[in-house]
Structure 1
Amino acid sequence: MGRVKIEMKRIENVTNRQVTLSKRKAGLFKKCKELSVLCDAEVAAIVFSDTRKLYHYPQTPGDVNNVVERYTSVDNCPLQNVERNKEEGIYCKLAPYLNVRREKMKELEKENKNMLGEDLGLLSQDELESYERKIEGSIKKIRDKKKQLMMQEITNNENQVQCLQIQNHELKKKIQYFDIYNHELQKRESEPIINEVSTFTNKDDMAYSKYKDSYILNIDPYDQF
């Protein structure tokens, strides 16, 4: 009894389909190995199952890459033609947009030269007046921005001066009290001390008392202000 001829169509039964894939894949890879060994040929086979699982021969991915690289490096390789066709298709789609952008760039370059006073020979009176108004408007904006920055800098400087004046006033005040303290200390040291408790009748004596207490308690007089 002869072998039953298998109809070439998709196997609907999942189990039968997986069994057939396993058997035929093994047969394919066996033939690849025989061809490689017997004929000293470089052979590669890549198979994806319906579940997107990858199978390949040789088993080492590096050997497959070597064969694929040799394949793509050959002149008139179909893969190269596919990539070239993709690039040409993309360029064809972008060509109208690129042409518009290219023309716009030329117009901007020409306008920039005209604004700098170059290539004015072919411009009409109206075009020259239009550029003149644009330049005057730009100069006004620049001057306004410059004035704003200068006023801001002046305000910052005034605030710094005010802070320095306050600090200077506080320092003068501390120096004044320190001079009073030093003067009274020298005065008291030149006189015999009769009693530690004294009656003060003026502002200088009151200031001296305050600094003397600080001195006795070993406190920095500057911390009092």
Structure 2
Amino acid sequence: MGRGKIEIKKIENATSRQVTFSKRRAGLLKKAQELSILCDAEVALIIFSSTGKLFEFPSSGMKKTLARYNQCSDSSESSLVECDFEMQQVKEVAVLREEIGKLQMAHMHMMGKELLNLSLKELQHLENMLNEGITSVKDRKEKLLLEQLEQSQLKEQCAVRENEILRKQVEDLRGLLPGTERSVTKYLDFHPVERKVSHTKPLLPNLSALFKCTFEKAEHSDTSLHLGLPDIYCKRKAVERTTCSNGDSGSPMPPWA
């Protein structure tokens, strides 16, 4: 007759539990030893009883086996972490691709394309979005135009100020010139006229003829006597009279005539 099956659960009787523990522990240690010898495997067995006693079987040293176990467990954990990270990245890539596809389709809808599959409600929503976008674009455009207008006005004001400063500097420089030249230049600046080449004779006489007439008039006047001019001036007048009389007789004119 074969042995009947034993139900695997905790044995409530302490004596029976201790007997079962001793038998199965010996069998487990024997199996571990046989496995290490037959298969050339590195086996380490650790057993703690319910009372806290330690039973162990190392085939090639407990510390060496435990160090190897820790190294393998660390590498397996890191590999598991890397695998989880890769799986998470794959999921994120799939989500991003889906979002990119949705954005591309929305862009096509904004451009007025691929509208056949849209319902009436979706088309109305799209129309509202486009109207809002056009309004915001117009507002931004008006704002930029106003800013450019303000900048242009500021530049114009700066140019007017610089023009006034330059005008004052020009007037100060004109103040250093004679009065006739300043008045003529100022008149020409504000009243420009066309310069025409005149082929007629100049209206004003030569300076030499003007001085000659002045001296001739002064010759017949008694102004020098009444003003009490010095003798040098009188002598000069006498010399001029003599030269004028000689000039009438055909002698050359003096340099100052």
Q: TM-score interval w.r.t. the shorter chain? A: 0.3 to 0.5
Q: Which has the higher contact order (CA 8 A, sep 6+)?
A: 1
The alignment's TM-score, normalised by the length of structure 2, stands at 0.38
Please report the TM-score for the alignment, with normalisation by the length of structure 1: 0.43
